[in-house]
């Protein structure tokens, strides 16, 4: 950008800020936004994780439904992260039969909500992994608890947690030794 163009742009910025007669903080914010626009800086692209949908349907959805989908927990419309399905809260399209198999729309909705809880830049720091894990095991604190007052997963070795983590981190499904 030439010096003339830069001076012209800065004059325009000053006139714009003066026209708004903003407070000092607002003026600085306006100046910064205009300066970034003049430099051609673009905001960083929002990275959205796209984990394996088929694996979600087969392995992860049943775990989320079992461990998180209770009406008082993530089956509630008051929560951002929601899981709907048989024997739990249902989407309005299947409200008439609470035990009907999970509808494609319920699984898709649960997938989208789960995927929104994954940090695409640092999957190991995803809320989907940190929230249900006890703080002693590295979790971030979960306000909900089971009837015994515990977090959903006490350790990173809990089978449900292992299933979630392997999906979020795009690792192979864990092999579980047969019960004795």
What are the sequence ranges of the domains in the chain? Answer: 3-39, 53-168
Q: Are 60 and 160 within 8 A, CB to CB?
A: no
- What is the full per-residue pLDDT of the chain (180 aa) written as tens digits? 443 333 344 444 344 434 434 444 444 444 444 444 445 555 556 677 788 999 999 999 999 999 988 777 887 778 888 899 998 888 887 777 888 899 899 999 999 999 999 999 999 999 999 999 988 999 987 776 555 555 689 899 999 999 999 999 998 876 655 555
Whether pTM exceeds 0.75: no
Longest dimension (CA), the chain: 80
Category of 144 on φ-ψ map: left (φ > 0), alpha (ψ -120 to 50) or beta = beta
Distance of CA 52 to the CA centre of its chain: 15
pLDDT at 92: 81
Locate tokens 């515990």: which residue? Answer: 150
Strands (E), the chain: none
pLDDT at 32: 42
CA within 13 Å, CB half, 178: 1
């Amino acid at each position: 950008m030439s010096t003339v163009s830069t001076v012209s742009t800065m004059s325009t910025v000053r006139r714009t800020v003066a026209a708004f007669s903003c407070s000092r903080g607002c003026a600085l914010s306006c100046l910064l936004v205009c300066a970034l626009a003049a430099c051609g800086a673009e905001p960083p692209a929002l990275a959205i994780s796209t984990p394996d949908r088929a694996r979600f349907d087969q392995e992860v959805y049943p775990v989320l439904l079992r461990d998180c989908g209770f009406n008082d927990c993530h089956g509630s419309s008051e929560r951002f992260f929601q899981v709907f399905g048989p024997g739990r809260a249902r989407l309005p399209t299947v409200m008439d039969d609470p035990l009907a198999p999970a509808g494609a729309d319920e699984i898709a909705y649960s997938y989208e909500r789960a995927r929104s809880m994954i940090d695409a830049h640092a999957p190991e720091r995803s809320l989907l992994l940190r929230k249900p894990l006890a703080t002693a095991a590295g979790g971030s604190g979960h306000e909900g608890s089971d009837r015994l007052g515990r977090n959903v997963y006490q350790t990173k070795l809990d089978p449900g947690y292992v299933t979630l983590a392997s999906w979020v981190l795009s690792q192979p499904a864990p092999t579980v030794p047969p019960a004795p």
